[in-house]
Chain A
């Protein structure tokens, strides 16, 4: 503990409180995030504004520092966990108010690949960024991806592989999307330790994401492009 005086969240004005939430997310303080979320609700904030301005805003800082090698996985997981605390409060309210969704993603490791830490991280970071994430776990065949895409109608399909031997299966899934005429229905993001941008292009993905932070940034960017196209 520092010598600084204990901060009473409810005594901060809105701007100070949001700044404080950025710091508390950064430090992974779940209870503080939950408390601050409730305070903003009491002050009449729209759930959607709390989500985007405070929670997603704070996680963007975490993501940037993760990308830049300042924060590492343990800190990011704690931050995402704190974010989830706030999200749990907001989720039912968001549904009630019919707030716009940031986006929806289906994610899973490909057939043959059972290494899921990377996928789990991306899932948590995406949730941290306000996306709805449907995690279909490990070792997914084409059929499993297709079934879930059909049922969930996500914006994004995320595929992960850690092994060099399983990476090529991503192409099998993408090829299947192409032949069934569904390729353009989804943004396809791929990731995993042995992959690189060249590979992502070679198999026809929309993007290769080097790490979870890049996945979030890429997903946001592609979603905004998609929205622009729709309104154009």
Chain B
């Protein structure tokens, strides 16, 4: 398969991804409750400026402003009929910025969760989910995205449905989950589970990994969990810039550029190939991360202890990948 991301990965042993989309757009005046995707059509200059931040800060790839661009999310803004248009523009604007750069930049079409819970626990059927992801994929493809980029997923069913939708659009893709609940996703998926899930797909992603979640330490632990499985597939690490704090009536993330630089280097040492930030990660963080990745030598695979020492403690004692299967076992069933 030839695409811009695979090509870039052949020549480099790490890539810097981008930082936050939402956080940065809010800084540009996006109001809470508005769909960021509507800005693709209404405020294209601002979206281009957002992409430009990533390029100017040293990112090798950036995600398009299309995270909530599926029919289910856009319906909340009565824009469910604009899926193709909004995604196409998100990618077109990205194409424009990437092609104007003086180095190869990958335009990754961001695809977030539907926000619905899938059957059998919830109401969203597999077929409907596939259809939604397919529709969004077609829009991003038409706009010129190099790859699709599934992110912040918590349910394995949804990950699979997205993969199927992307196959229908015949697009290469990457996929990350958010491990925010005692080291697992909200739906209970461990890092080891995701490695397995990815390899079982008929159209596996180019790279896979973790994004968002709860702070850089947890994310590094998850990356260690991926690489411990001996996967050959590039691992993606996109962690938040620290933890949100409430100061004087608004929120800011407490992760400094220095911390994110340490995190980036440790993520690489832990086995990640594509490294970036997520919520709260601004241009200044990316610059520090790039500089660290370029100048600091590789060193040993970090241990949980060294992560805790350098970056900070974990949100939970275990993450479900321990030899005993993690936390205490389920209660004994009297019958099945």
Contacts and interface: CB of A to CB of B under 8 A. Distances in A.
Interface string A126-166: 00000000000011000000000000000000000001111
Contacts of A169: 32
A179 to B, nearest CB: 17
Interface stretch (B130-138, B143-151, B297-305, B327-335): B327-335
B33 A114 contact: yes
A169 B33 CA distance: 11
A92 interface: no
A42 interface: no
A70 B329 contact: yes
A77 B122 contact: yes
B32 A112 contact: yes
A78 B119 CA distance: 11
Interface string A50-74: 0000000000010001001111111
A74 B188 contact: yes
Given A65-B331, A70-B328, A167-B246, A113 B33 contact: yes
Contacts of B122: 77
B328 A166 contact: no
B244 A164 contact: yes
A72 B32 contact: no
A97 interface: no
A68 to B, nearest CB: 6
B184 A112 contact: no
Contacts of A113: 32-33
A27 interface: yes
B80 interface: no
Interface string A179-200: 0000000000000011010110
A27 B330 CA distance: 10
A70 B330 contact: yes
A226 to B, nearest CB: 27
Interface of B: 22-23, 26, 31-33, 73, 76, 115, 117, 121-122, 154-155, 180-184, 186-188, 243-246, 249-251, 253, 279-280, 316, 318, 320, 326-331, 333-336
